[in-house]
Amino acid sequence: MSQPTSDAASQRGFIVWFTGMSGAGKSTLSTAVRNQLQATRSVEVLDGDEVRTFLSRGLGFTRPDREENIRRIGYVARVLARHRVAVISAAISPYRESRNEVRRLASEAGIPFIEVYAQASLDALVHRDVKGLYKKALAGEIPHFTGISDPYEPPESPEVTVRTDSETVEAGVERILATLRARGLIA
């Protein structure tokens, strides 16, 4: 974790919550945003796969388990943000209600919350899927696969939508950073 500078924008923690289907580019975008921010402030990335390994081990992929996973990520994000950390969450977080709950709890704690929707067409996701998970899910071989046999509820009004199937990572990152600047969260 890098040390924050003394400028006023780095004195406030916030949450940037990336949501989108598997392979939509959440981790790629979150890493790029982290790389831009870490030179001037403390930043932590809560990656969905890592959280499932270390914080949510034992949870499955039923709706209640997925909702509990998101609650846990939201809790850790709030704790870090209260300590002036820029928190970046990159988890599928398929249910709108769960994301809205995380947003509401952050707001109640006075923590700025920026939702970023990493959006890509199903064709693009299938094409870029090196593990072949989408093909298996489409063939019925993987139960509870988000966007195929389980729902993915897109955000209704995210602060930023990045069309990862038609937009460069750099362009998406710049729009995210511009949103953070406009909110006074970064210099």
Q: Which of 4, 2, 16 is nearest to 187 (CA)?
A: 4
Q: Which of 96, 44, 43 is nearest to 70 (CA)?
A: 96
Length of the chain: 187
Of 45-49, 81-85, 178-182, the least confident:
45-49
CB atoms within 10 A of CB 149: 13
CB atoms within 10 A of CB 174: 13
Q: Which of 70, 57, 78, 30 is nearest to 153 (CA)?
A: 70
Class of domain 8-121+152-182 (CATH, top level): alpha beta
pLDDT score recorded for residue 56 = 78
Angle at 161 between CA 50 and CA 127, to 5 degrees: 65
Share of the chain above pLDDT 90, in %: 81
Mean pLDDT of 161-174: 98
Q: Is residue 54 over pLDDT 90?
A: no
Mean pLDDT of 64-77: 94
Per-residue pLDDT of 120-140, as tens digits, reads 999 999 999 988 999 999 999
> Is 166 in the active site?
no
Mean pLDDT of 102-110: 97
pLDDT score recorded for residue 49 = 79
pLDDT score recorded for residue 11 = 81
Mean pLDDT score of the chain:
92
Q: Is residue 7 over pLDDT 70?
A: no
Tokens read off for 155: 């955000």
Q: How far apart are CA 125 and CA 187, in angstroms?
A: 34
Share of the chain above pLDDT 70, in %: 95
Domain boundaries, the chain: 8-121+152-182
* Catalytic site residue from 93, 149, 157, 166: 93
| DSSP result, the chain | -PPP-SSGGGGS-EEEEEE-STTSSHHHHHHHHHHHHTTTS-EEEEEHHHHHHHTSTT--SSHHHHHHHHHHHHHHHHHHHHTT-EEEEE-----HHHHHHHHHHHHHTT--EEEEEEE--HHHHHHH-TT-HHHHHHTT-STT-BTTTB-----SS-SEEEETTTS-HHHHHHHHHHHHHHTTS--
pTM of the model: 0.91
Q: Is residue 10 over pLDDT 70?
A: no
Q: Which amino acid is at 180?
A: L
